[in-house]
Amino acid sequence: MILKRRFYNRPTLDVARDLIGKVLVHETRAGLASGVIVEAEAYIGESDPACHAAPGPTKRNAPLYGPPGVAYVYLNYGIHYLVNAVTEADGWPAAVLIRALEPKDGIALMRRRRGKSRDVNVNDLCRGPGNLTKALGITLAQNCLDLTGSALRIEDQGGPSRPVQWSRRIGITVGVEQEWRVTAADSTAVSGRPIPNP
């Protein structure tokens, strides 16, 4: 079942937690690839210095100010595409960055896209936000797609609920004190060890 817009139209931390165990799906001409979300980070509002909305509305961050349930894809440091799910009410800028997946469908396709042989552990294919977009074929072409009804979507496939763990966000230099990173505590596919506050 594809997640409905009301799923995303809630407090961002609730959405982040509830995305753990859901399945990110991308259909392309090359085939379908998907993975179970096991790591995500919340970015909330203009007062969050690590959120792209911190400087106020821009052309780049416009999707953050739009309706919930839309994909916000951007190029990070000119190298990696990162995919986010926009959350909360239209006009309130917030999103959840999807950081890691446990590969599910299209694993051979993911290996080809990543240039990884069969010797590479399957859980390494989508470990980290840049790796998962490459594995799923997500680029700027998917920016602003409707996650509730497009080739890029998030589904509830009835998987078991996963125990979660909260920690500080990683890969950023500001807003690091917030424990807004959520991981599936039982997964070996997360992108880094939890960093608790001292």
The model's pLDDT over 70-117, given as tens digits with 9 standing for 90+, comes to: 999 999 988 999 999 999 999 999 999 999 999 999 999 999 999 987
Confidence grade of residue 164 (pLDDT, cut at 50, 70, 90) = very high
E strands in 45-180: 71-76, 80-86, 94-105, 152-155, 164-167
Residue 196 has pLDDT above 70, yes or no: no
Residue 137 has pLDDT above 90, yes or no: yes
Question: What distance in Å separates the CA atoms of residue 148 and residue 126, rounded to the nearest whole number?
Answer: 22
Reference 71, options 82, 86, 58; nearest CA is 86
Confidence grade of residue 119 (pLDDT, cut at 50, 70, 90) = confident
User: What pTM does this model have?
Assistant: 0.95
Percent of the chain at pLDDT exceeding 90? 91
Mean pLDDT of the chain: 95
Residues 6+ apart with CB under 8 A from 73: 81, 82, 83, 84, 133, 138, 139, 140, 142, 143
What's the mean pLDDT in 141-155?
Answer: 98
Residue 197 has pLDDT above 80, yes or no: no
Confidence grade of residue 192 (pLDDT, cut at 50, 70, 90) = confident
